[in-house]
Every structure is written in structure tokens, then in C-alpha cells.
Structure 1
Amino acid sequence: MSLSPRRHATELETISVTVPPEAVEAYESALSTVCTTIGIFEVDDNQTQWRVEGVKDIGNGEEELRAALLVAGLTTGVDAELERSHTESEGWLARTYEAFPEQLAGRRFAIRGTHLEQAGRPQRITITLDAGVAFGSGEHGSTRGCLRALELVAYRQPRRILDLGCGSGILAMAAAALLHRPVLATDIDPWSVRVTRRNAAMNGLGNLVDCHLGNGWATPAIRHHAPYDLVFANILARPLCSMAADLARNLLPGGTAILAGLLNTQVRMVLAAHRRHGLVLERHLREGDWGTLILRKPHG
């Protein structure tokens, strides 16, 4: 998700919920239905609680917000209390900048906001994101795990690459920059598609990252370019399980899938769903409570 500092004719408010890590994405999606800016912040050092907050015009989209929060609660089983406070756009933006320092991921990548003035690290591939990006900025364990996994499988030189559920586009851009290959990126959220296109252009990767709006494997662009020899799917555990058959069908023999958005406690469930369709586990990477799976489709 992305934000841009702008003047508002109406009064602004910050709305927020505090939730455990497994509920972050569902509540981030709920708040994004009415908020023009979204931020995700650690509440404690152990990453057991995260605050998801957004900025919106006071009184805007209240019915949509209530419905989205209800769906998030039913989906996750977490009944989060919504908090509200009056806010100044500049103050919120400044705090978001402070929470987004340079992020180093794996051995090769550095993720930087546009608000950072000092020079980047020449020995790393630097990906620059809108200074207001908080979710998908490289700080989350799922994103970091995917970037580490990409480094491990890059030697295979995949040619057909898909980032399913691209969010801010960080994984698609990382693959394009590291492998110098075109990457198809898709997301069900129109805002994510716009942000990914903007981020890719800002990083000089607009000619390699092709982003489309779509709903999972039913997306026409995905069907048109299938099959793939590298697929990223950084979403949630249950959607990963439900799409296991589609992934296996659309993966070339010898192809690799990098799955994330799941807790380490959910790894067995996700792995079992994909083993039923012939995929095998190569690595399970851990970033705190979050797990990333590297799966392979055997030849033959």
C-alpha cells in the first residue's frame, strides 16, 4: 500500500486496530476499503501484536468500513476493537517515515524509501519504494523470507516468472532486477496494481514488470502466459491451500514455487495441500514467526 502527502478539504482521522500477526493482512485489507493511506507498525519487540492504521476523511465510508471489519473478524477469528483519533496528515506521514528505515534483506537486497537522502549500498540491489509505503516494505517476515528464497533459486535462471498477489510489487521488482527477466505481477486490489506500476517505473523496471488486475489463477493474463518456472505467492495460508491444484497445473516440470504469508505453525497444513498435487519441499525458511516454503515440481 502507498500514500502520498496531500491537502484535504475535510478533516482527517486515524483509525487503527491492534491484532496478532496472522490477522494483519485481513485487517489491512479491511481498512484499505476506506483509507487512502495504510501503515503497519510493531507494537512489541516479539512481533506478537501489530497495529494496523489508516487515514481517512472523517465520516467517509462508514458502512463499508463496518462491513469490511466484520468480514475480517469472521475470516480471522480476531475481534479487533477499532480506535479513532483526529490527525494531521503531515504528522502521520512523519511517523510513517520514521518507521521505514532502510531494510536489508538476504545478502543481495536493500529496500529504501524515497525519503532517505543518503546514498544507497553499491554492493546490493536497491529497490526504492514510495516513502509512505509501510506494508510490503521489506520489514515483514514474509517479504524478507521471499527475498532470501529468491537468492537461493536464482541460479536456475527462471524465464517465466509470476508474482501472484504482488501488493507493492517488491518481489516482482526484486526478481526482475536480479534475473533481468520479465515478470508478470497480478493483484486483486486495484490500488496495489497502481502502486506496483508506479514503483516499477520509479525503479527503472517498468519495461520488465507487467502488472495486471485479477483474481488469482482465473486472471486472463496469468492463463495466457502459463506455465511458469518461478511463482511467488505471498498471500495467506488458507488461500494458498485452496489454490494448490492450480499452482501445480501452472508450474513447469522442474519449476519452483515460493510460498509465504503463513506462520510457521501453518507450514504443515500448506505443505500437505501441495504435496497432494505432486510438489515437493526443498526448503523451509524462518523469519521470526513467519515461514517461507520453497517447493519444486519434479520432472516427469
Structure 2
Amino acid sequence: MKKQPAPLETLVLDQLPDEAMPAYEAALLSVSATVALFLDEETGNWRIEAVREAQADADALQAALALAAGLTGHEAPLTRHATESEGWLARTVEAFPEQEIGRRFLIRPTHVAPRPTYGRIALTLDAGLAFGSGEHASTQGCLMALERLPKRLPRVLDVGTGSGILAMGAAKLWHVKALASDLDPWSVRVTRENAAMNGLAPRLRAVLATGYAHNAITRGAPYDLIFANILARPLCAMAKDLAAHLRPGGRAILAGLLGKQVRMVLAAHRRAGLVLERRISLDPWATLVLRKPG
């Protein structure tokens, strides 16, 4: 007897201003299988749609939305409606093809058969994991920034790791160990599973932490490279902590910010003693490479 697919629902947040969109996108990514963004060219506001199982944890959704509202000061009304389950997963798989990023990386979904990569570093991820799947411009910008760094950086930290994709990219590119952290237990679990799937379990450790508050992070400092692909306001709030954990001469790759937020994020990190080395723009998102003088 054919098993019936679980009922799905679509969550919709509408009329979001630029400054609120990243936080609400992150909120829905934390509780949904897939998220899509739509820009209203006339108003400049955003619409976010997410699909998830209808019976999923309602408390987690409310907590994620409350956190986004607290971070942005913007209350976004949520609407929801039933979504046709039949064929949805197949459409999601089709929408997540193998993709080349920059000159060095290739993201391979688990439903795509392995093939020779010829000069590219393949990272295998599950199509159902939307956060950190490589499709988002902030993730792409980080991988492009990583491959352009001038030398091997042996001590790597990835703050707000999501799927672990950036820590895995550095570990595979340079054959080094990496430490990854996230405040979401599910992300930590997924990172560990992805590391094992990519043969990186011995070289990638994932821990549950808020920002830099973990003994493993403190013991591992200072770092030669720190990734922070999160949101603009948390990036600003943690600028001093980032600088304190970065080795003189080390680099930081920051993402999760819109082009309009670059000035604010840069100002916070310049006050912490860091200098801008490179900016990568994949509209409307920006990725910054900073260096600690020394």
C-alpha cells in the first residue's frame, strides 16, 4: 500500500522592509524545508514563502518569529494555507541541481549520482536542507571569498554554521581541522551528519553555542579564519568578540547582510580594529572579507 505524503502548509510573510527581511528569512529557514524570497519592485518590500509539514512544531515557529521581531523591531503578520503534498518533494529535488560555485567548489545534492569533478571540490548536501544548501547568495559569496584567500589558513572557526557547508569547504580546500558552532541544536546535528557524509568527521567538530560562548571556541583561539554568515545586527553586536578571537594577520568572512547594511557592519568591525580587504556583491546580498592587522 502506497504511503500517503504528509500534509504540507505554506507560510507567508508579506510587506517586509529590507532591514527586517534577513531576520525573518532566517526564522523561516530554521523551521521549514524550503524558503523563497520575492521583491516587490514598486514598494521595495519583500515577501517570504516557506513550505513545511502542517503538523510541525508550532512552538518552534512562534519562537523563531518572536526572535526575528525582537531583533528587527518589526512585527510581521503570518498567513498560512494548505499546500498540495503530491509531487512537492520531487519538485524540490528538481529545483536543487548540482551547482558550481566560483572556480573551486561544486555542491552535489544527495539525489545526484557522483561523477569526477576535475579540479573542483565537491560538497554533498541533502536537498531537503534549505539553510546552507549553497543556493543562497550569502553562502555562495562566502565560498567565493574562501577560494580567493591568498594562503592556507590552518585554524578555522565557523560561527552560525547552519549546515556546516563553509566549515566543510575550508576543511576540504586546505586539509585542515575546523570548529563549527550554532545556537540551533538541529543545525549542530545536521552539520555532524554532513561532515560524516563528506568524510570530514575526524576534521570537523560542531558544538552548540551562542556566539563565541563555548569552552571549545575559547580554547581554540586565536583563529586564522572566522566565518560568520548570520545577520547584520548580530554581526555588529559580536564584532569585538570576533576581533578578540582572530589572530593578527587573520581573516574574517562575513555574510548574511544586504548591500544597504554594509556600511553599518563595516563601521562596527573597523571600531574593533579590522580592515576591509574585499567585498563580493551578489545582489541584494554582500560578503565582506576583513583582516586583522599584525
- TM class by smaller structure: 0.7 to 0.9
Residue 109 (structure 2) pairs with residue 149 (structure 1):
no
Residue 265 (structure 2) pairs with residue 270 (structure 1):
yes
The 8 Å contact of residues 105 and 148 in structure 1, kept in 2 or not, is answered as: yes
Q: Counterparts of 1:228 and 1:64 in 2: how far apart (Å)? A: 33
| Equivalent position to 2:237, from 237, 242, 245 | 242
Q: Which runs of 5+ in 1 are unaligned?
A: 1-6
The 8 Å contact of residues 21 and 50 in structure 1, kept in 2 or not, is answered as: no
Q: Counterparts of 2:257 and 2:26 in 1: how far apart (Å)? A: 16
2:148 is paired with a residue whose SS is: helix
1:43 is paired with a residue whose SS is: strand
1:216 is paired with a residue whose SS is: coil
Residue 213 (structure 2) pairs with residue 213 (structure 1):
no
Percent identity for Structure 1 against Structure 2: 56
Residue 69 (structure 2) pairs with residue 73 (structure 1):
yes
Residue 291 (structure 2) pairs with residue 290 (structure 1):
no
Residue 195 (structure 2) pairs with residue 194 (structure 1):
no
Q: Which moved more, 1:10-19 or 1:234-243?
A: 10-19
Residue 165 (structure 2) pairs with residue 163 (structure 1):
no
The verdict on how the C-alpha distance between 1:228 and 1:49 changes in structure 2, with shifts beyond 3 A counting, is same
1:281 is paired with a residue whose SS is: strand
| Equivalent position to 1:139, from 110, 132, 135 | 135
Residue 178 (structure 2) pairs with residue 174 (structure 1):
no
Q: Which moved more, 1:257-266 or 1:181-190?
A: 257-266
| Equivalent position to 1:115, from 103, 111, 116 | 111
Deviation at 1:67, TM superposition (A): 4.9
2:130 is paired with a residue whose SS is: coil
The aligned residue for residue 26 of structure 1 is 23
The aligned residue for residue 53 of structure 2 is 56
The superposition leaves residues 179-238 of structure 1 with CA deviations (integer Å, 9 ceiling, x where unpaired) of 000000000000101111111111111111111111111122101111101111111111
Whichever residue aligns with residue 284 of structure 1, its letter is R
Instruction: Provide the TM-score with structure 1 as the length reference.
Output: 0.86
The superposition leaves residues 118-174 of structure 1 with CA deviations (integer Å, 9 ceiling, x where unpaired) of 735333111110121222111212111111110111x42111110111001110110
The superposition leaves residues 1-44 of structure 1 with CA deviations (integer Å, 9 ceiling, x where unpaired) of xxxxxx789754333335566545433443466x4x42122436
Deviation at 1:96, TM superposition (A): 1.8
Q: Which moved more, 1:81-90 or 1:122-131?
A: 81-90
Q: Which moved more, 1:221-230 or 1:108-117?
A: 108-117
The aligned residue for residue 276 of structure 2 is 281
The 8 Å contact of residues 22 and 262 in structure 1, kept in 2 or not, is answered as: no
Q: Which runs of 5+ in 2 are unaligned?
A: none
| Equivalent position to 1:128, from 101, 124, 131 | 124
Residue 39 (structure 2) pairs with residue 13 (structure 1):
no
The 8 Å contact of residues 38 and 52 in structure 1, kept in 2 or not, is answered as: no
Whichever residue aligns with residue 155 of structure 2, its letter is R
Instruction: Provide the TM-score with structure 2 as the length reference.
Output: 0.87
1:17 is paired with a residue whose SS is: strand
Q: Which moved more, 1:102-111 or 1:40-49?
A: 40-49
The superposition leaves residues 50-105 of structure 1 with CA deviations (integer Å, 9 ceiling, x where unpaired) of 534131344x6445534542442343355444232334555332232132122221
CA RMSD for the aligned pairs?
2.7
1:218 is paired with a residue whose SS is: coil
Whichever residue aligns with residue 212 of structure 1, its letter is V
